[in-house]
Structure 1
Amino acid sequence: MKLFHYHYWTDSVEETEDFYWKCGFKIVQRFGKNKTYHPPLTWNDFRKEQPIFRVIEVRKGSVNITFGEGKRPIFDHIGFLVNKAEQHSICKRAMKLGWGTEMNERRTFIRAPFGLRFELQCREEVIDDIGAKFAIKGMKIGIKKEDGINQVTSVFNSSLPEIQFVKSDKLELQCVLVNGLHQYYKDPNGVVLLPS
């Protein structure tokens, strides 16, 4: 199981893409509401159309970040690369505890009682290099309510030492520790990226 991903909804889509591009991420794909704007297209090619983006995907090493159009920055979920056996076991334990579970061929989501969704992804092609030095090593996630926080260990069959949950006014991704990052950054949605 490998922590590899997070997703945000944002009112600063172009700024968010530009931020990650300047941090060395490649823009992989852009899905508008009605059509795609994948690279090699740039914002200068379609800005006048004022597209509404469902998802923009950026990657570097073994990190995958997605974001889409929203009214304000809203943290949506984090993702783990898992094998089929891990996916099945995690879902089984989550369902036993009454966590919401959405399964399909592309990916699976489980929702903890404290509101955070966890993506379970079995397809390694969603990252550029599984063994890359550039990788997520940890996250600090703010949660509003602590209902079910003690269930995380049993659902994932581990303590998930790379994730620290802290009490907050809202569900938020506060900090991401990234191996291979050389300095402190703060993205347009308030997410702090720190070298690990």
Structure 2
Amino acid sequence: MLFHYHFWTPFVEETEAFYKANGFRVFQRIGRYHGNFQTFNPPQNWDEFRNKTIIFRIIEMKKGSINITFGYGKKVMFDHIGFLVSDNDNQKIINKARKMNLNVQVNERRTFIGTPFGFRIELQTHKDAVESVNSPTKINKLEIATKSSNLSQFLMNLFEVDIPQIISTVGNKTTITRATFSHIELKKSLDPNGVTLQIE
């Protein structure tokens, strides 16, 4: 199940506010402050730490079966998408990635697989990554622009099934251009990082 995407962005507070306006809740904020990583989780809010020089490593927001994360970067950069998979499928995909000579980083929480398209794929087996795996609120499609037209074939080779939720387009940089959600009321449609949200 496609459930997740992550961006690096200079617009951290603005990105949180955008998704909050669309009904997402903050589950964690982790940032570097005075050289140490600290949490700034709710009920803390931006009025309490906006003027501190915090470099946010991750802010995690969830709604239904959707998980959005982002952290501070000097420029907007799409980092990865995530799939929630079974333990069995997780191992199958890892094995296939290694046969394809892809960079595979495995830890107990999640696995990252490098791609030749400038973004990574996260494999997640922990169902607590979302509020509910059975929620009708989910990511139906992600439109991903890359400099190559081979993304769909690459995903089919890796997963050994078609991944219709990923719509591949050709662009001058690698990024998510559009995210289609279901069972969500959108108050705003264009996020600060250039992703257009729509519903179906």
What's the TM-score bracket when you normalise by the shorter of the two chains? over 0.9
Instruction: Give 1:69-88 correspondences, 5 Å limit.
Output: 69-88=72-91
Partner of 1:153: 156
1:114–1:146: 8 Å Cα contact kept in structure 2? Answer: no
SS at match of 2:38: coil
Aligned mates of 1:42, 1:131 — CA distance in 2: 30
Within 2, Cα distance between the matches of 1:64 and 1:80? 10
Aligned structure 1 segments of 4 or more residues deviating by more than 4 angstroms: 146-149
TM-score (normalised: structure 2)? 0.94
User: Which of these residues, 182, 192, 197, is aligned with residue 193 of structure 1?
Assistant: 197
Q: Aligned partners of 2:50 and 2:157: how far apart in 1?
A: 46
- In 2, Cα distance between the equivalents of 1:148 and 1:65? 22
CA root-mean-square deviation: 1.3
User: 1:63: Cα distance to partner?
Assistant: 0.3
Task: Calculate percent identity across the aligned residue pairs.
Answer: 40
Alignment pair present for 1:8 and 2:7: yes
Partner Cα separation in structure 2 for residue 176 and residue 125 of structure 1 = 22
Displacement of 1:35 after TM fit?
1.1
Amino acid at match of 2:190: K
The secondary structure found in structure 1 opposite 2:67 is strand
The 2-side partners of 1:8 and 1:135 are apart by 18
Write out aligned runs for 1:40-189 (5 A): 40-146=43-149, 150-183=153-186, 185-189=189-193
Aligned to 2:25: 26
Structure 2 CA distance for partners of 1:186 and 1:195, relative to 1, 3 Å: same
Equivalent AA in structure 2 for residue 28 of structure 1: F
Q: CA deviation at 1:72?
A: 1.1
Q: Deviations over 1:10-48 (max 9, x none)?
A: 000000001111111001100011211000000011112
User: What 5-or-longer segments of structure 1 have no aligned partner?
Assistant: none
Q: Is the 8 A contact 1:144 1:171 kept in 2?
A: yes
User: Secondary structure in 1 aligned to 2:44?
Assistant: coil
Q: Within 2, Cα distance between the matches of 1:151 and 1:193?
A: 25
Structure-2 separation of matches of 1:37 and 1:24: 20
The AA in structure 1 aligned to 2:73 is G
Distance (whole Å) between structure 1 residues aligned to residue 75 and residue 39 of structure 2: 23
In 1, distance between residues paired with 2:156 and 2:66? 23
Match of 2:41 in 1: 38
Question: Aligned partners of 2:2 and 2:152: how far apart in 1?
Answer: 18
* Contact persistence 2:152–2:163 (CA under 8 A): no
SS state at 1:44 partner:
helix
Alpha-carbon deviations, 1:157-183, whole Å to 9, x = none? 111011111111011001111001344
Normalising by structure 1, we get a TM-score of: 0.95
